[in-house]
Structure 1
Amino acid sequence: MAVLERARAHAPRTPSAQGAGLVLALTATVVWSGNFVIARALHDTVPPVQTAFWRWIIALLAVAPLALPQVRRQWPVIRRHLGFPVAGYSALLRHRPEGIGGVAFLFMTFALGAAMLLPAYGVSLAAEGGFAPTAGTVGPLLYIGICSSAVAYFTWNKAIALVGAARAGVVYYLQPVCVALLSHMVLGEAVGPVQLVCTALIVVGVALGAGSRR
């Protein structure tokens, strides 16, 4: 399975595949941008550390049905490379160890992220207390756990497979633009001439950068 995935990753990229890859990268970037809006909405009700911890727990549960069979099959290889998913995700995704599939790699990334946050989560609970599980807290947490973590990472992985980490990374620079637009639409934040000029510069820069990386 891993060999087939790597073969697809190194296959010639057709224009249609490159276009699809850029659209997928943009989709993941827009979804991730929603994190900033959600964080502002949750700021007064859920402590940031607890938000981050539950994000990874929910993401872990979301991918578990697909990932666990692969993790069980590939556990001897995963055990030898447990520190690998902690490093730079996009740069290392195409160089993950032989024998570890994409879904298993994603699952272990989420698991290690939650494990590393567990001590800070305990401190936050002791110092700040928990939060009330209402529609206003659970709904946003489900968004950042399922959409912004599990779904967006799957989308990002596919984008990297189609266009490479470098071109996908250029599209990620659109995140400030997406955050500004979402904040304006959802939170009613003002958009002035300075923001419009900056948005235009970013969009032009990303278009030139994504088009020049072949």
Structure 2
Amino acid sequence: MRRLLAGELTRGPQGERIAQGLLLVAPALFATNMLVARAAADFIPPVALAFWRWFLVFLMMLPLAGPSLWRQREVLRAEWPVLTLLGALGMGVCGAFVYIGAHSTTATNIGLIYANSPVLIVLLAAVCFGERLRPVQLLGAGLAFAGMLVLVAKGDPGVLLDLRFVAGDLWIAAATLGWSVYSVVLRYVPSRLDGMTRFTAICLFGVAVLLPFHLWEAVTLGPPTLDLRTVGFVLLLAVVAGFAAYQVYGLILQTLGAARTGLLLYLMPLYNAGLAVLLLGERLHGYHLAGAALVIPGLLLANAATRRR
């Protein structure tokens, strides 16, 4: 397990095969987060859910990376600005924002809007790190963005013309942008830490960023009720959508690169919508299908092979 988390098994031809197989697993892991976000929206405050999810992930990582983290404490001091940024984005924006948005939008919408992140990753990689985009990729980005607008407007052009939006969808759109920036920074900003140690450090800094907001929320809204339901949902998030999902995503990203990582993540909205119907009783509407019909082909086109300038 340690060899896998450290990236030793994702090098060379065998590593590529493992990473490509994990691309089929990653959407299901991340879909768990969106389903729990909606299912727990009425009884777990959003920042508390994000804080305890990532605090538990940090505790799970300590036996694996704690000694390395201590040995490289000087590196942590040197890299703290980037680690703080990654923690704020990965655990704060991509955590708490999703849980805030889940109060007023559906798990299906969360999945379909979040599906635009691979497009944003490709665009950010092109703007910031010199990946040349072809016209077909720009077309794909346009289709995916149009699909997101269909979802946010729920198929009603008047919503866009009158600037009437569901607050939850806007929170999810902000989280989508945050995840895209997180992915590009993780991929392209160098670090002297190995992948496992860096992830543990990001969890630590992310929890530190969330702590004051968690305390403020506890004072203003009250702490979450400590019962089996609350504990079960937090553990599910920590183990599946936290520990497993981020480790798998990080391994794929380091092995295949930003653009190829997004190639099969178009499965995420399909996994998410299917599970939301089966487990949460959500209904699919015409605008969901119209949005998916634009987003999914857009992802495929936008994630066509890129070239360096």
Shorter-chain TM-score above 0.5:
yes
Taking a change above 3 Å as real, the CA distance of residues 166 and 51 of structure 1, as seen in their structure-2 partners, is same
Aligned to 2:40: 42
Which amino acid counterpart does residue 151 of structure 1 have in structure 2? A
What is the total number of aligned residue pairs between the two structures? 207
Residue 6 of structure 1 deviates from its aligned partner by 9.3
- The partner residue of 2:186 within 65, 72, 93 is 93
**Deviations for 1:151-200, whole angstroms, at most 9, x for unmatched residues?**
11110111112211121134334433332122111101112454345445
Aligned to 2:30: 32
Partner SS state of residue 223, structure 2: coil
Which amino acid counterpart does residue 19 of structure 2 have in structure 1? G
- The partner residue of 1:184 within 261, 274, 277 is 277
Which amino acid counterpart does residue 38 of structure 2 have in structure 1? R
Quick one: distance in 2 between partners of 1:162 and 1:179?
25
Quick one: distance in 2 between partners of 1:113 and 1:125?
18
Contact 1:24 1:155 in 2 (8 A): yes
Quick one: distance in 2 between partners of 1:71 and 1:119?
24
- The partner residue of 1:82 within 55, 80, 95 is 80
Quick one: distance in 1 between partners of 2:9 and 2:233?
35
Quick one: distance in 2 between partners of 1:97 and 1:192?
44
Partner SS state of residue 171, structure 1: coil
Contact 1:49 1:124 in 2 (8 A): yes
Identity of aligned residues (%): 30
* Structure 2 residues without counterparts, runs of 5 or longer: 1-5, 87-180
Contact 2:47 2:217 in 1 (8 A): yes
Which amino acid counterpart does residue 21 of structure 2 have in structure 1? V
Partner SS state of residue 72, structure 2: helix
Quick one: distance in 2 between partners of 1:7 and 1:37?
32
Quick one: distance in 1 between partners of 2:9 and 2:45?
42
- The partner residue of 1:171 within 242, 246, 264 is 264
* Structure 1 residues without counterparts, runs of 5 or longer: none
Residue 94 of structure 1 deviates from its aligned partner by 3.5
- The partner residue of 1:108 within 201, 207, 210 is 201
| TM-score, with structure 1 as normaliser | 0.82
Taking a change above 3 Å as real, the CA distance of residues 122 and 128 of structure 1, as seen in their structure-2 partners, is same
RMSD (Å) for aligned C-alpha atoms:
2.8
Contact 1:177 1:202 in 2 (8 A): no
**Deviations for 1:70-93, whole angstroms, at most 9, x for unmatched residues?**
111221112100121324432233
Aligned to 1:128: 221
Contact 1:173 1:206 in 2 (8 A): yes
Which amino acid counterpart does residue 245 of structure 2 have in structure 1? A
Partner SS state of residue 122, structure 1: helix
Quick one: distance in 1 between partners of 2:201 and 2:289?
40
**Deviations for 1:4-60, whole angstroms, at most 9, x for unmatched residues?**
x89998x7x64x654542332342232112212101111111111111111111111
Quick one: distance in 2 between partners of 1:103 and 1:136?
30
Partner SS state of residue 82, structure 1: helix
| TM-score, with structure 2 as normaliser | 0.59
